Amino acid sequence: MNDVEPLRLAEVSAGYGRRMVLDGLDLGLQQGTITAIVGPNGSGKSTVIRAMARLLPARSGVVLLDGHDIRSFGSRDIARLVSVLPQSPSSPPGLTVRELVELGRFPHTGLFGRFGAEGALAVESALTLTELSDFAERPVDELSGGERQRAWVALALAQGASTLLLDEPTTFLDVRHQFEVLDLVASLCASRGMTVVMVLHDLVHAANYADRVVVVDGGRIVADGAPSEVLTVGLMRTVFGVAAKIFTDAESGRTICLPISTGRS
């Protein structure tokens, strides 16, 4: 077993301007697992991901990447180890899927270099895994929402990093496409042993796909554990302010969280 955590936030505080969003947050990731980060709007979920990839520097505390202080890494070194899919990524009109995915090799080539056989292989396998080989020459902006999201996942895969951070990967997708993207992520985690962190709004998805659910509120972790342990009626009321029913699906054994109302009536 590899006991070095791929990523750990140790007592990390971070924020924008004078507003601190993360308040001494402590979170370590286990290799090869899917962690869902959930919490109300403005709780600091996305900031956790941004701090993990040093897109936002920690004001205090340390971010450890493979056990080493992330500040000792160059930007491209980080990009080789951690790939991030932001909330609303955008590509220029006319850029094809293949051209987008090839950008995933940027951290591996010199500023001016070519990406060689290894890079070409990484791009092909990313296209195959995301089932985009037939769409490779199509402009990204002409794809459907689900296909477009898969193209961005493919870019992250071509990057060859072992940790994948996704910020609300299912937003703006219809329910079928939501499942497609999440299934893809789950299969990558299983087949490639990737460590995945997803910020999710949908607690049903979080319970369904994550090995571990981390609930963030006010820049702190308020609950952390397996979905069945974390998602409780009490937590739904105190953190999200809703009344919910929690039950276990007899067939699959999965925890199902069903928010009912604001609980005020």
Partner 1 sequence: MRSARSFTALTLLAAIAAAALFILHLGLGTVWIPPDRVVLALLDRPTDPTDLTIVRELRLPRAILGLLVGCMLGLSGALLQVVMRNRLAEPGLTGVSTGGIFAAVLFLAGTWGLPHPGRLLPFVVLAGALAGGAVVLVASSFRGRIDPLRLILTAVIVNAVLGSLTSIVMLNSRQALGGILSWLIGSLNGRVWDDVWLALPWAAVGIPAALLAARPANVLQLDDESGRALGLPLQPARVALFGLAAVLAAGAVSVSGAIAFVGLMAPNAARVIAGADARRVLPLAALIGCVLLLAADLVAQSLSIKPPIPSSSARVGLPVGAVLAVFGAPLLIILIRRSIR
Stretch that binds partner 1, among 92-100, 191-199, 204-212, 250-258 (CB under 8 A): 92-100
Give the nearest distance from C-beta 43 to partner 1 in angstroms.
19
Q: What single DSSP character describes residue 82?
A: E
**Cα distances (angstroms) measured from residue 29 to each of 8, 10, 26:** 6, 11, 10
- Which of 19, 74, 134, 176 is close enough to bind partner 1 by CB under 8 A? 74
Bridge partners (DSSP) listed for residue 216: 221
Q: Which is nearer to partner 1, 81 or 230 (CB)?
A: 81
Give the nearest distance from C-beta 133 to partner 1 in angstroms.
15
Stretch that binds partner 1, among 106-114, 116-124, 172-180, 190-198 (CB under 8 A): 106-114
- Which of 89, 145, 218, 259 is close enough to bind partner 1 by CB under 8 A? 89
Who contacts 136 (Cβ-Cβ below 8 Å, separation ≥6)? Answer: 96, 97, 98, 101, 127
Q: Which is nearer to partner 1, 112 or 117 (CB)?
A: 112
Angle at Cα 191 formed by Cα 189 and Cα 195, nearest 5°?
25
Contact indicator for 221, 26 with CB cutoff of 8 Å: yes
- Residue linked to tokens 């199902």: 256
Give the nearest distance from C-beta 113 to partner 1 in angstroms.
8
- Residue linked to tokens 């500040």: 71
* DSSP reduced 3-state for 208: helix
- Which of 25, 29, 38, 79 is close enough to bind partner 1 by CB under 8 A? 79
- Which of 68, 71, 76, 245 is close enough to bind partner 1 by CB under 8 A? 76
* DSSP reduced 3-state for 11: strand
Stretch that binds partner 1, among 22-30, 59-67, 69-77, 214-222 (CB under 8 A): 69-77
- Which of 104, 119, 160, 227 is close enough to bind partner 1 by CB under 8 A? 104
The pair of three-digit structure tokens given for residue 87, joined into one six-digit string: 């909330």
Give the nearest distance from C-beta 59 to partner 1 in angstroms.
17
Q: Compute the distance between CA of residue 65 and CA of residue 56 in angstroms, rounded to an integer.
A: 15
Give the nearest distance from C-beta 30 to partner 1 in angstroms.
22
Bridge partners (DSSP) listed for residue 257: 246
Contact indicator for 31, 2 with CB cutoff of 8 Å: yes
- Which among 226, 244, 248 is positioned nearest to 234, based on CA atoms? 244
Instruction: Examine residue 137 and tell whether it contacts partner 1 (CB under 8 A).
Output: yes
Give the nearest distance from C-beta 191 to partner 1 in angstroms.
23
- Which of 1, 111, 117, 250 is close enough to bind partner 1 by CB under 8 A? 111
- Which of 12, 53, 199, 236 is close enough to bind partner 1 by CB under 8 A? 53
Length of the chain: 265
Q: Which residues bind partner 1 (CB under 8 A)?
A: 53, 55, 74-80, 83-84, 86-96, 99, 103-104, 106-107, 109, 111-113, 137, 139, 159
